[in-house]
């Protein structure tokens, strides 16, 4: 009984979980991008829009996937299709908005077959579908379990402080990155 009371007192709210997942998946996405760029370019490249080690497109993409697939149980083909469509639409929209705002392209698939305005390509859309299945079947359940375990070992007040610090750093990074890209 006492464990249940402690668990409830230390359980993150849904908003706090969303924020934590956003940062975890933004960092993992940045890591994936950096490793891919190191493989291709044979040198370290800080991938993404921000100065810090996160790519928000991956954080938001993960949250979109979590939300769109929360009621899809076990059907990998349906998960694949939803992941392909949701990630492709999201990637296209983000590419378009970033280009309008900053007159820059952070990625360009113009040389890939079956691309749409260089913003998305069938190859990467299929990769997003495969990653979507891996994400929902393996990665997110593991991350969810680890987050819960860590939260049980940290007081609610410390959890809030960590979240406020992460959000504060993110907002500052966004501000300074936007200024740098506008110049």
- pLDDT tens for the chain, 183 residues: list them: 444 444 456 677 889 999 999 999 999 999 988 898 888 888 877 777 788 899 898 999 999 989 888 888 888 999 999 999 999 999 999 999 988 988 888 788 989 889 888 899 999 999 989 988 999 999 999 999 999 998 888 888 898 999 999 999 999 998 998 888 776
Q: Is 92 within the bounds of a domain?
A: yes
Q: Is 6 within the bounds of a domain?
A: no
CB of 115 closer than 8 Å to CB of 106? no
Of 35, 28, 14, which Cα lies nearest the Cα of 61? 28
Q: Is 2 within the bounds of a domain?
A: no
Rounded distance between C-alpha atoms, residue 142 and residue 131, angstroms? 15
Q: Is 5 within the bounds of a domain?
A: no
Stated pTM of the model: 0.83
Q: Is 33 within the bounds of a domain?
A: yes
Q: Is 109 within the bounds of a domain?
A: yes
pLDDT score, position 85: 93
Specify the 3-state DSSP secondary structure of 39. Answer: helix
How many separate domains does the chain show?
Answer: 1
96: containing domain: 12-182
Q: Where are the alpha helices (DSSP H) in the chain?
A: 2-10, 14-41, 56-69, 76-102, 122-134, 140-152, 156-182
CB of 62 closer than 8 Å to CB of 69? no
Q: Is 73 within the bounds of a domain?
A: yes
Q: Is 7 within the bounds of a domain?
A: no
Alpha-carbon dihedral 83, 87, 90, 96, rounded to 10 degrees: -150
Rounded distance between C-alpha atoms, residue 145 and residue 33, angstroms? 25
């Amino acid at each position: 009984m006492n464990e249940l009371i402690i668990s409830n007192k230390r359980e993150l709210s849904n908003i706090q979980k969303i924020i934590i997942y956003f940062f975890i998946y933004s960092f993992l996405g940045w890591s994936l991008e950096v490793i891919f760029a190191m493989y291709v370019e044979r040198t370290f490249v800080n991938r993404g829009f921000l100065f810090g080690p996160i790519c928000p497109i991956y954080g938001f993409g993960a949250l979109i996937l979590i939300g769109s697939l929360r009621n899809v149980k076990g059907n990998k083909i349906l998960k694949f299709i939803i992941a392909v469509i949701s990630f492709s639409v999201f990637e296209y929209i983000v590419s378009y908005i970033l280009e309008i705002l900053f007159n820059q392209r952070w990625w360009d698939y113009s040389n890939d077959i079956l691309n749409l305005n260089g913003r998305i390509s069938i190859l990467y859309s299929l990769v997003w579908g495969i990653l979507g299945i891996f994400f929902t079947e393996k990665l997110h359940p593991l991350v969810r379990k680890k987050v819960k375990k860590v939260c049980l070992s940290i007081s609610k007040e410390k959890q809030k402080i960590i979240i406020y610090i992460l959000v504060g750093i993110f907002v500052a990074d966004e501000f300074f990155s936007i200024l740098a890209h506008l110049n």
